[in-house]
Amino acid sequence: MLREFAMPDVGEGLTEAEVVTWNVAAGDVVTVNQVLCEIETAKAAVELPSPYAGTVGKLLVEPGQVVAVGSPIISIETAEAAAPAVEEDTGAKIGEVGKDGRVANLVGYGARPGAVTRRPRRGTTPPPAPPTPAPVQQSHSAATSRRESGFTAISPGGAGAGAAAGAVPLAKPPVRKLARDLGVDLRSVTPSGPGGVITRDDVQSHVVTPAAPAAVAAVGGVRREPIRGIRKHTAAAMVSSAFTAPHVTEFLAVDVTATMALRDRLRATREYAEVKLTPLAFVAKAVCLAARRTPELNARWDEAAGEIVYFDRMQLGIAAATPRGLIVPNVRDADTLTLRELAAALGELTATARAGRTSPADMAGGTFTITNVGVFGVDTGTPILNPGEAGILAVGAIKPTPWVVDGELAVRTVCQLALSFDHRLVDGEQGSRFLADVGALLTDPGLALTW
Amino acid sequence: MSTPQDWTPPTSAATRPGRDRPGRDHVVAGLKGTDEGGADLVQLLTPEGVRVPDPRFDSYAADVDVEMLKGLYRDLVLVRRFDREGNALQRQGQLGIWVPLLGQEAAQIGAGRAMAPQDMAFPSYREHGVAWTRGVDPTDLLGIFRGTDHGSWDPREKGFHLYTIVIGNQCLNATGYAMGQKFEGKVGGDDAEATMCFFGDGATSQGDVHEGFVWAAVYDAPVVFYCQNNQWAISEPTERQTRVPLYKRAQGYGFPGIRVDGNDVIACLAVTRWALEECRTGNGPVLVEAFTYRMDAHTTSDDPTRYRLADELELWKLKDPIERVRVHLVRSLGVEPEFFDDVQAQADELAARFRQFCVDMPAPAPDRMFSQVYAEGSPAVDAQREEFLAYHASFEGAS
């Protein structure tokens, strides 16, 4: 009989997983526990062993596709005879396709994505059908009968629908009840509470002014991608930063010819043979030195405590573009490091980030951030603060530029700096002094001796 | 009594063969509290499968003949086999979680086989091998990992307490139980009893373990504290737990501590027999540190590649607890290949039974959660049960 294997919850409470590679193809003969594929979840990359012995019928998921836990991913033709059709018991064993075509699955914990529909209560009108096409049917884990408790039923072919359907709207039980009483579909309500939680006011205002969905006329094709993972976190962090800290951005073009010459000289020395000495290391060093003179930039606004927190040490965040998105790992106690140590730390940090091995601890507790947009060839930008930090420095492309030296035009190596700071605790005076200090150090690295 | 001046750092260049002076990272992190096993490691069977003499513990392994060693080998292979099946069943959505014991088979089988029927064991949640030696059927372990049961065996009958999830908590229970054995005069006679408490290196950082040590020491409780040091407390290495080798901690509490090669089933058996004998004759407690390695993840929810290096794993593969017994059986004792094939067949049979049992496990009735709260019921719980069942019955399609 043809059996389907549903994506299991391989962690505790995971809702989705990405199929990375298939180790089998349609037509392959597989044994129990033979590795079928590798999947990646928010927690780990793991291999899935086959629960059945038989012949692979069809791979139901493409590599790279993210599917909801409980969606069938592969069908396997086993040697067993099909279960007798007269079987009355609707409770299919976990992982098997029930007689109604739904695949039973061990219920994990926590909310799952997809449209959750409760089974109707006796004597009540059923709720209107959800607007999403081919919704993933799920029985509510806490509200199932004995026969079905422990099972989540998924409609066949629901993989795509499960991935496309929005997350379960977040709201507290009294608010859910209010919404139900008022006939409001929570999925159509715009949340305003912290963490995207729908509040009582949201529901009430939704009733007063029902949101008219603006028809978006699609020109050509569109591609819709669910917002999740690092993208989601980045968005939340940027929005919270942009709308809490009043940003001011200042710009400075700097002649870094002397610094680049110093870099070339150092690179030739034995001490720097092992490390990759980048311009970023010089900028990082300059930031640490300048922050010593202007401690307001290495500080944070603590709204809850009504205090400004000044940091003794510099935890220098470096914005890094990785295959998985933007992350900001930190160089710990950057102000205590020598230029060589900084260069080594930066090299290690970017290598770790690119390999996707940056731990959450490495990203927490930053106090100032540098974003090196110059690597993309652009001159400058207006960076948005990493939430909680007082300053962020964007470093533009370093390139030959006409420059006035001693009253005459000369070709010099020039770099644009852009500093955004939180105006709640940094005034124009401090911000300007800090930026000018960084610029001065990069123009004449010898100045560092005098500080 | 020793003074602070007498104290010598636990780690020196001499005990760290093949390693240079500690680097900056080591200095920052503090000196490593562990090492390659060290000179004090009790080992009777080397990783190469050679039986080596040990004047102190040979007498405790004198009865380990071919037949007995074949039995231990069978234990090791069968336990590893159903452990791997448990891991696979989790990956197939049949278990909520599984806690693998891969690599720790010898530490558990050696300790478990040293116990007498009247002894009592208090496990953590990874002691599938000890459960096996206590006659707990592997299928009885499945309920807790499938979320249908808290434990499916009678702890009194098996002399094996239910799994304890809270780290180190069982040290208090074990110490209390052992104190009871002493108060009831079950120490010193021919039918003397002892208690074994199983925990890991991470648990040694818990207050409960410290309290258990203190009480057990002060009351001379007949309890063997059996610490399987598998080097990793989830993602924290042993050097983040301690500055001295763990077995040396016992000295501070006033009882003996010993480190045994946890991948050597004969040594684990001999040392645990000695430790139990100490306890039964009134010289308890004893701390045994079984020096081993967690070859798989902490649980199926964990990904160890994020925090430890593959070459460490490769190093420990060479110290495999099963392979050394196999080599010894073949090379030194002349056991024929048929024996190994037979054991493998038994293991696969067990795994198939384990799998089938798991897949067929029924979900418990919803009123189950109320049924064993009080021995004779209680009005409040009864009312909650009625309300809950009525709520269930209110759905369409409910039977």
Higher pLDDT, A188 or B204: B204
Q: Given this model, what pLDDT does residue A133 score?
A: 43
Q: What is the pLDDT of residues A238-256, one digit of tens each?
A: 888 888 889 999 999 999 9
Mean pLDDT, residues A150-167: 41
The model's confidence at residue B398, banded by pLDDT at 50, 70 and 90, is: low
pLDDT exceeds 70 at position A9: yes
Using the beta-carbon criterion (under 8 Å), do A10 and B365 form an inter-chain contact?
no
Distances (CA, A) of B25 to A354, B22, B32, B238, B330: 23, 8, 11, 15, 44
Minimal Cα–Cα distance from A6 to chain B, Å? Answer: 8
* Predicted confidence band of residue B120 (pLDDT cuts 50, 70, 90): very high
Q: How confident is the model at residue B97 (pLDDT cuts 50, 70, 90)?
A: very high
For B260-295, write each residue's pLDDT tens digit: 999 999 999 999 999 999 999 999 899 999 999 999
Q: CB distance B91–A46 less than 8 Å?
A: yes
**pLDDT higher than 60, residue B7:** no
Is there a contact between B395 and A145 if contact means CB atoms under 8 Å apart? yes
Residues B80 and B192 in one domain: yes
Average pLDDT over residues A412-417: 94
Tell me, yes or no, if A72 comes closer than 8 A to chain B by beta carbon: no
B41 and B113 inside one domain: yes
Average pLDDT, chain B: 89
Please check whether residue A12 touches B, CB under 8 A. yes
B21 domain residue, yes or no: no
Calculate helix-pair angle for A257-267, A428-443, nearest 10 degrees: 50
Percent of chain B with pLDDT over 70: 90
pLDDT band for position B35 (50/70/90)? low
Please indicate, yes or no, if residue B10 is contained in any of the structural domains.
Answer: no
What's residue A354's pLDDT? 82
Please say whether the dihedral angle defined by the alpha carbons of residues A277, A279, A284 and A288, taken in this order, is positive or negative. Answer: positive
Whether B88 and chain A come into contact, CB under 8 Å, resolves to yes
- Give the gap in angstroms from C-alpha B274 to the nearest C-alpha of chain A: 41
Instruction: Select the residue from B89, B99, B367, B395 to test the A interface by mutation, using most A Cβ atoms within 10 A.
Output: B395
Nearest to A12 among B93, B301, B398 (CB): B301
CA of B89: which chain A residue's CA is closest?
A51
Q: Does the CB of B302 have a partner CB in chain A at under 8 Å?
A: yes
Confidence of residue B117 (pLDDT cuts 50, 70, 90): very high
pLDDT(B362) > 80: yes
CB-nearest to A149 from B300, B363, B391 is: B363
| CATH code, B226 | 3.40.50.970
Identified catalytic residue from B307, B331, B368, B392: B307
Contact A48 B85 (CB under 8 A): no
Instruction: Give residue B385's domain range.
Output: 371-399
Do B301 and A95 count as a contact with CB atoms less than 8 A apart? no
pLDDT at res. B202: 95
Would the CB atoms of B90 and A43 count as touching at under 8 Å? no
Q: Does A336 touch chain B (CB under 8 A)?
A: no
Residue A233, amino acid = H
**Count of C-beta atoms within a 10 Å radius of residue A243:** 8
| Residues B191 and B248 placed together within one structural domain of the fold | yes
Question: What residues in A contact B365, CB-CB < 8 Å?
Answer: 146
| Bigger pLDDT: B25 vs A53 | A53
Nearest-Cα residue of chain B relative to residue A142: B392
Q: How confident is the model at residue A121 (pLDDT cuts 50, 70, 90)?
A: low
Q: Provide the pLDDT for residue A110.
A: 36
**A204 vs A219: CA distance, rounded Å:** 35
Instruction: Look at B297 and A51 and tell me if their CB atoms are within 8 Å.
Output: no
B34 pLDDT exceeds 60?
Answer: no
Alpha-carbon gap, residue B182 to B172, rounded angstroms: 15
Q: Closest CB to B301: pick one of A32, A43, A48.
A: A43
Per the domain annotation, does B17 fall within a domain? no
Chain-chain contact of A48 with B305 (C-beta, under 8 angstroms): no
* B63-to-A203, B66, B67, B269 alpha-carbon distances in Å: 76, 9, 10, 11
Domain-located, residue B289? yes
Distance CA(A68)–CA(A48), nearest Å, equals 15
pLDDT of residue A119: 63
Q: What is the number of structural domains in chain B?
A: 2
A363 close to B (CB below 8 A): no
**Which is catalytic among the residues B128, B294, B326, B328?**
B294
Which candidate in A145, A154, A336 is best for mutational testing of the B interface (most B CBs within 10 A)?
Answer: A145
A95: nearest CB among B92, B97, B303: B92
pLDDT of residue A174 exceeding 90, the answer is no
What is the torsion angle, in degrees rounded to the nearest 10, for the CA atoms of residue B287, residue B288, residue B290 and residue B294? Answer: -30
Chain A residue nearest residue B363, CA to CA? A150
Of B93, B302, B355, the CB nearest to A44: B302
Chain A CB within 8 Å of residue B297 CB: yes
Chain A CA closest to residue B388: A143
pLDDT for residue A237 is more than 60 = yes
User: Which residues lie across from A151 on neighbouring strands?
Assistant: A106
Instruction: Give the pLDDT confidence of A88-118 residue by residue, as tens digits.
Output: 444 445 545 444 444 444 543 333 444 445 5
Total Cβ atoms within 10 A of residue A186:
19
Residue B356 in this model has a pLDDT that exceeds 90: yes
Give me the DSSP letters along B140-169. Answer: GGHHHHHTS-S--S-HHHHTBPPP--STTT
Check A106 against B399: CB less than 8 A apart.
no
Average pLDDT over residues B368-379: 85
Nearest to A12 among B97, B355, B397 (CB): B97
Residues B174 and B114 in one domain: yes
For an interface test with A, which of B87, B92, B145, B394 has the most A Cβ atoms less than 10 Å from its Cβ? B92
Instruction: Set out the domains of chain A in order of their start, with CATH numbers.
Output: 1-168 (2.40.50.100), 169-210 (4.10.320.10), 230-450 (3.30.559.10)
- Rounded to 5 degrees, φ, ψ at A427 are -90, 170
B326 and B393 both lie in a single domain: no
Per DSSP, the three-state class of B122 is: strand
pLDDT at residue B58 in the model: 96
Query: B366 vs A44: CB contact, 8 Å cut-off?
Result: no
Burial of B202 (0-12, 13-18, 19+ CB in 10 A): buried
B26 is catalytic: no
ipTM above 0.90, yes or no: no
Give the HSE-up count for residue B160: Cα atoms under 13 Å, Cβ half-sphere.
Answer: 27
Same domain, B307 and B261: yes
* Selected residue of A14, A94, A352, A358 to mutate for chain B interface (largest B Cβ count, 10 A): A94
Contacts of A23 in chain B (CB under 8 A): none
Kindly state whether residues B319 and B379 are assigned to the same domain: no
- Per residue in B148-186, pLDDT (tens digit) is 887 889 999 999 999 999 999 999 999 999 999 999 999
B148 and B126 co-located in one domain: yes
Q: Quick one: B334 and B388 in the same domain?
A: no
Of B235, B89, B359, nearest to A10 by C-alpha is B89
Q: What 3-state DSSP class applies to A100? A: coil
Over range A318-337, report the average pLDDT: 87
> Higher confidence at residue B7 or residue B234?
B234
pLDDT at residue number A97: 47
Q: Which residue of B has its CA nearest to A144?
A: B392
Which helix (H) or strand (E) element contains residue A335?
none
Q: How far is A388 from chain B (nearest CA, A)?
A: 28
Q: Are residues B342 and B378 located together in one domain of the fold?
A: no
Same domain, B309 and B166: yes
* Chain A (43-62) residues lying within 8 Å, Cβ to Cβ, of chain B: 43-51
Residue B13 in domain: no
Residues B399 and B334 in one domain: no
Task: Please answer yes or no on whether B394 and A106 come within 8 Å at the CB atom.
Answer: no
Is residue A140 annotated as a catalytic residue, yes or no? no
User: Per the domain annotation, does B224 fall within a domain?
Assistant: yes
Distance CA B342, CA B79 (A): 15
Q: Is residue B271 part of a domain?
A: yes
Q: Check CB contact under 8 Å for B93 and A150.
A: no
What confidence score (pLDDT) does residue A209 get?
Answer: 57
- Helix, strand or coil, per DSSP, at residue B229: strand
Strand-pair category, A29-30 with A330-331: unpaired
pLDDT-derived band at B307 (thresholds 50, 70, 90) equals: confident
Q: What mean pLDDT is reported for chain A?
A: 80
Contacts of A151 in chain B (CB under 8 A): 363
From the list A10, A33, A146, the residue facing B300 with the nearest CB is A10
CA distance B391 to A121: 10
Q: How much is the pLDDT for A357? A: 80
Inter-chain touch A143–B392, beta carbons under 8 Å: yes
